[in-house]
Amino acid sequence: MPAASIRPLHPVPRSLSQLCARFGLDAPDDIDHLEVTGVSISSKDVDAGDLYVGIPGARVHGASFADDARADGAVAVLTDAAGAALAADSGLPVLVTEDPRAALGEVSAWIYRTDPDVPKLFGVTGTNGKTTVAYILDGLLGQLGVLTGLTTTVERRIGDERIDASLTTPEANELHALIARMREVGVHAASIEVSAQAITRHRVDGLLFDVVGFTNLSHDHLDDYPDFASYFEAKLELFTPERARRGVVSLDSEWGAKLVENTRIPVTTITSKDGVEADWRVIVGGQRGASTTFTLVAPDGRSLDTSIPMPGWFSAANAGLAIVMLVESGYDLDQIGEALERDGGVDAFVPGRLELVSGERGPRLYVDYGHTPDAFEQTLGALREFTTGRLFMIFGADGDRDATKRPDMARIAAELADVVIITDYNPRTEDPEAIRRVLVDAARAARPEGEVLEIADARLGIRRAVELADDGDTILVAGPGHESYTEVAGEKIHYSARDEAREALREAGWQA
């Protein structure tokens, strides 16, 4: 079911002529009687009463499908001049704007009435940790008795209603529809994972976040941005008065301080690093295979001792960031502390993020979504701390994505893991053998004496690791995380690393 299917059940119609007046659009003749109740940018998702927005694509213009949109109940088309020519014979009134994608957010906000009276919105951005912080926010709010909404790389969720996600951040029309539905059912606060692409591609336009959080910045998405400075500028845009009231910035990466220097909204800072000055401090305690304890120290000296059910110092840092975002939004630190003490720590589960799928006996096996050099380095470092035996890593690299990070991913894996198994992972339209060759060569160059295995089929790679591992060993399957498919030559094939890992453990006689 597509994300656009979560819509308000009782939309209040908007006059098409008033829409034209509101956004300065030339009104076609005879539209005074027409009303719109929703917005769609795909002809496959059109509902009766929709405004269909025709956006130019890489291969085809969305306005080419105006006839299909009309057949499914669209009442008008909003597009650019080129799209207007394509939609002219559809029989629908055509509204023309210079950049329909740039207009989509504000138009959707007006139609779905999400500009006033919406849930409290929390936005999280950064390279790594966005999904985790969003889930921790959602979990903490639940512990405080708040009805929540959530949208992440994994899913869109309103209470018990959920659908799988196709993009990290939904398109603007889907996001505003989702928030309108949240408002209908009484959601008080929503956590939204915000990618850099979501900001530059206008997916969060028309929203004003109560608090935004920044986790870190490291090598990723340089296929979408010409350089690191441009990637940073995309993240920085979220920390402007037009998009957020206040922010919380982690200083655990050097880019946090740069963001603080350039932000135009009030921000507070947090760090888990020694020697770094910040308003809030996370002191990481002990960690086991399934949890990490930490102390959060406030600017006024108050402290909160608790734990997060995930391994790694970065898990504690993510939890600290989420707690401070709640405090910045008006929640009381002592009230949060009481809820955490009552529940034995943070109550949050993050699908496919350092998710432990093994049982009490045998090797520990984690499935993780990490697919950047920094994520590899931090995760392997965290797992090494409690691994008494060998550390195995199974990974591949995305096809049709930033290829410049692949050698660093392989180098870090070879330097920090005892056994590296390189497999295929979403090759998409690229030659999978060529991707593996880059990874294998970089891994062997980084550690010539290391054990590096090339096993194309990820299922067999997982089974090989399980065969070689024993009690005290740790296996990390990095990349797939929560995903339930792999894409090969443009075809999506069912594949779940979590399911394969559990099956491999059982086949070997271990618990899962």
Binding-site positions for ATP read 126-132
Q: For residues 392 and 450, is the Cβ–Cβ distance under 8 A? A: no
Would strands 189-193 and 148-151 be described as parallel, antiparallel, or unpaired?
A: parallel
CA 316 to chain CA centroid, nearest Å = 19
CA distance 183 to 174: 14
Q: For residues 263 and 247, is the Cβ–Cβ distance under 8 A? A: yes
Other CB atoms within 10 A of residue 336 CB: 23
CA distance 36 to 326: 36
Residue 91 neighbours by CB under 8 Å, 6+ apart:
70
CA distance 8 to 98: 29
Q: Which residues are annotated as a binding site?
A: 43, 126-132, 168-169, 195, 203
79: Cα within 13 Å, side-chain hemisphere: 27
Other CB atoms within 10 A of residue 422 CB: 29
Residue 499 CB burial class (10 angstroms; 0-12, 13-18, ≥19):
middle
Q: What is the helix, strand, coil percentage profile of the chain, to 5?
A: 35, 20, 40
What residue type is 149 in one-letter code? G
What is the radius of gyration, based on Cα positions, of the chain? Answer: 24
β-strand partners of 267 = 247
CA distance 193 to 123: 6
DSSP H or E segment with residue 428: none
Tell me the CA end-to-end span of the chain in Å, nearest whole number.
30
Q: For residues 324 and 304, is the Cβ–Cβ distance under 8 A? A: no
β-strand partners of 163 = 156
Would strands 209-214 and 244-250 be described as parallel, antiparallel, or unpaired?
A: parallel
